[in-house]
Amino acid sequence: MVFSEFDDIDFQQVLIGSLLGDGSLQRKGFSNPIYSEEHSLSQESYALWKNQFFNFKISYPTRTDLKRKANKTYQQICLFSRATPRLLNYYYRHYPSPERKKVVTREILTKLNPLGIAVWYCDDGSFDYDSNRIILSTDGFSQQENLLIQDFFKTKYDIEFKFSGKRIYCDVRNSTKFLHLIRNSIPQCMKYKIGLDEVRREKSEKRKKEWSKEYNSRLKTKKHKQEYNRKYRIKNREKLLENYRQYYYKNRERLLQQKKESWLSK
């Protein structure tokens, strides 16, 4: 790892974006922090693209996930640095609390440019091909921090995010503005996250056609039932009225009592 790279603007942006996303800094008993980041092997190209800026070490550890993957063993790609004082400023900025929990602050956000935002989005963002909206998973941050992120994008880029549960998302108009902002900074291997994956697009169009067909079928069935009921009521009007009269006289006392109680409760 070349120390001069720590002063490079692109290095700083990729590092800040990664720390907002999948990257982490830890001391692990050292006086200086170590950077580490793990990805599944399917995102090896993305990890290698990042390492063009980092020039960190690379390993391919085997992991066993006991929770989400039902005790499945799989291989990952890991980027990690050696302990260095050059990362201390980033460590104290992103982990200011005694518990060393990762945070988002206005100071961090104001340091971002489109490259840093693109890296953050590649780490924790996703594109919904069915609705053409982008989602940014901000589960690890508090509601106050999410509001801060929303305010940052609205103030600086006029992009309006909405908060939903544990993440923020944009409508179609604001998603288009966001993707235009980061488009030139996205690596080729992550183009699917900005809606340029033709296979996913075709699957989405197929799903939409199936949903439309099912909806029209249900709507047709509903209209058919409504029309049938209407004709039935017209055809059997006298019979239905007679049934209602018999029911009313048979249950007159109970119906009057219910009406009285309803009136008194108002």
Q: Report pLDDT digits (tens) over 218-243.
A: 767 777 778 778 888 888 888 888 88
pTM to 2 decimals?
0.76
**Beta-carbon contacts of residue 97 (< 8 Å; ≥ 6 apart):** 103
Q: pLDDT tens digit string along 134-165? A: 999 998 899 999 999 999 999 999 999 998 87
- Average pLDDT, whole number, for the chain? 88
Q: What is the pLDDT of residue 214?
A: 76
- Asked if the model's pLDDT at residue 68 lies above 70, the reply is no
Of residues 2 and 191, the one with the higher pLDDT is 191
Q: Which position has the token pair 């439309």?
A: 212
Question: Max CA-CA distance within the chain?
Answer: 94
CA trace torsion 241, 245, 247, 253 (10° rounding):
150
- Asked if the model's pLDDT at residue 37 lies above 50, the reply is yes
Is residue 161 within 8 Å of residue 122, measured between CB atoms?
no
For residues 13-26, average pLDDT: 96
**Pairing assessment for the beta strands 162-164 and 72-80 based on DSSP bridges:** unpaired
Q: What is the pLDDT of residue 126?
A: 95
C-beta pairs of 243-252 under 8 Å, 24+ apart in sequence: none
Q: What is the pLDDT of residue 227?
A: 77
Q: What is the CA radius of gyration of the chain?
A: 29
- Asked if the model's pLDDT at residue 125 lies above 90, the reply is yes
At 83 the three-state DSSP class reads: coil
